[in-house]
Amino acid sequence: MTPTEQSTRALAVCRLAPVVPVLVIDDLAHAVPLAQALVAGCLPALEVTLRTPCALDAIRAMSQVPGGVVGAGTLLTPADVKAAKAAGATFGVSPGATQRLLDACAEHDLPLLPGAVTASEVMALLEMGYTVQKFFPAEQAGGAAFLKSIGAPIPQVGFCPTGGISLKNATDYLSLKNVLCVGGSWVAPKDDMARGDWAAITTLAAEAAGLRG
């Protein structure tokens, strides 16, 4: 899959809702009810980070939830890409971009949201055909003001900023012309997951789904 085709598919994912939940799943038993709760709150695109031992099994289980579009986050290596694809991930997200990672996504037909921060990083990916990118770590790298400034000379790239975003500041990003959606973990708090309070997560998701730029 070419970078341009990947970006077309990534764009479709980013347009599903204003927020993509970034999920860290410690307990496989949480995977399905969590996905159901988020989908019920109208957040269908779900990023499961490959940071816990059960992440791939969680992707496998969540992929069966009707209405969910499940992707894998924290892709760092070609092996991650292969495993994510085999588990059923339909998109990938990386904090950055390396040539080996980009090649693996092309080879395994996995649409990727590659991460970039600086103008040069954004331009290097754009040169290859990646017009949809992740801006990470958003708040720490300069926040919405930084991303707005990147958009002035490079308006062709649409972003999913993540890192430090919550209900409080999401609109700062969503109101920018070059932001397609935002990513964040705030819609799936660890405490609510541990308590099995899926209704609370649906409420947070619905609140996030109602955000507008």
The binding site for ligand 3PG (CB under 6 A) comprises 22, 73, 136, 162-165, 183-186
Kind and range of the H or E run holding 42: none
- Rounded distance between C-alpha atoms, residue 51 and residue 26, angstroms: 9
User: Is 134 a residue of the active site?
Assistant: yes
Query: What span, in angstroms and rounded, lies between the C-alpha atoms of 4 and 150?
Result: 21
Q: Is 148 a catalytic residue?
A: no
Residue among 82, 106, 171, 97 nearest 135 (CA): 97
Q: Which of 82, 85, 134, 148 is catalytic?
A: 134
Residue among 47, 127, 148, 190 flagged as catalytic: 47
Query: CB neighbours of 85 closer than 8 A, spacing ≥ 6?
Result: 108, 109, 110
- Residue 50 to residue 172: CA distance in whole angstroms: 28
- DSSP 3-state of 142: coil
Distance, in Å, from the CA atom of 131 to the CA atom of 43, rounded to the nearest integer, reads 23
Residue 179: closest CA among 55, 40, 19? 19
User: Are the C-beta atoms of 70 and 63 separated by less than 8 Å?
Assistant: yes
Q: Which residues are the active-site residues?
A: 47, 134
